[in-house]
């Protein structure tokens, strides 16, 4: 089994706001990079790939969902598409640095979280995709969406265990 390094870039919606440090790939670039990587690993004898993503922007998901191998099996697991409602307590809505991700960070990397800076933000218009909401609300959004103030390390632990079990179930499912 090969556990490849995380690819720290994805597809984001263009934003008129300046968000220092935000980097993005085009859909076709992400798709091509993943196809190229899988092809080289296929040449080394790997015949099954499981791609995990925690970025639910439609363009990003589409780029990953359409990755194929020449003779290998490719599965994609969208972590944020799991039903996590049994663990969460905050108001449901769009999530980008909200309760889910902040709780996971508090569990996995607590020294990197500054909870005193957490600010809840749920825009009135919830009809657009998560990242489109962020990019079209100049001056209002703190750069996150959701309710990070209700995040906790304990929720992060529960989320991590639940997500890990769901991934194990999906990966080792006899039906797939």
Structurally, how many domains does the chain consist of?
A: 2
Backbone angles phi, psi at 90, to 5 degrees: -75, 170
Q: What is the pTM of this model?
A: 0.79
- The tokens of 44 are what? 């080394």
Exposed, middle or buried: residue 128 (CB in 10 Å: 0-12, 13-18, 19+)? Answer: middle
Residue pair 53/5 in contact by the 8 Å Cβ criterion:
no
**Domain of 118?**
99-160
63 plus 112 within the same structural domain = no
Q: What is the pLDDT of residues 37-52, one digit of tens each?
A: 999 999 999 999 999 9
d(CA 90, CA 97): 13
- Closest C-alpha to 72, from 29, 40, 28: 40
Q: What is the pLDDT of residues 17-72, one digit of tens each?
A: 555 667 789 999 999 999 999 999 999 999 999 999 988 778 888 999 999 988 99
- 123 within domain boundaries: yes
129 plus 60 within the same structural domain = no
Collapsed DSSP state (helix, strand, coil) of residue 48: strand
- 29 within domain boundaries: yes
């Amino acid at each position: 089994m090969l556990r490849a390094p995380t690819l720290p870039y994805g597809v984001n919606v263009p934003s008129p706001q300046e968000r220092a440090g935000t980097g993005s790939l085009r859909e076709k670039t992400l798709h091509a990079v993943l196809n190229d990587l899988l092809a080289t690993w296929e040449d080394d004898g790997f015949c099954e790939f499981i791609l995990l993503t925690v970025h639910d922007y439609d363009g990003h998901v589409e780029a990953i969902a359409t990755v194929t191998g020449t003779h290998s099996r490719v599965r994609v697991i969208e972590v944020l598409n799991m039903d996590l409602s049994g663990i969460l307590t905050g108001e449901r809505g769009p999530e980008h640095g909200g309760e889910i991700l902040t709780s996971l960070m508090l569990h996995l990397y607590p020294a990197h979280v500054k909870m005193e800076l957490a600010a809840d933000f749920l825009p009135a218009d919830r009809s657009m995709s998560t990242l489109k909401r962020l990019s079209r609300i100049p001056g209002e959004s703190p750069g996150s969406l959701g309710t990070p103030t209700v995040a906790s390390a304990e929720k992060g632990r529960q989320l991590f265990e639940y997500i890990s079990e769901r991934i194990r179930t999906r990966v080792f499912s006899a039906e797939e």
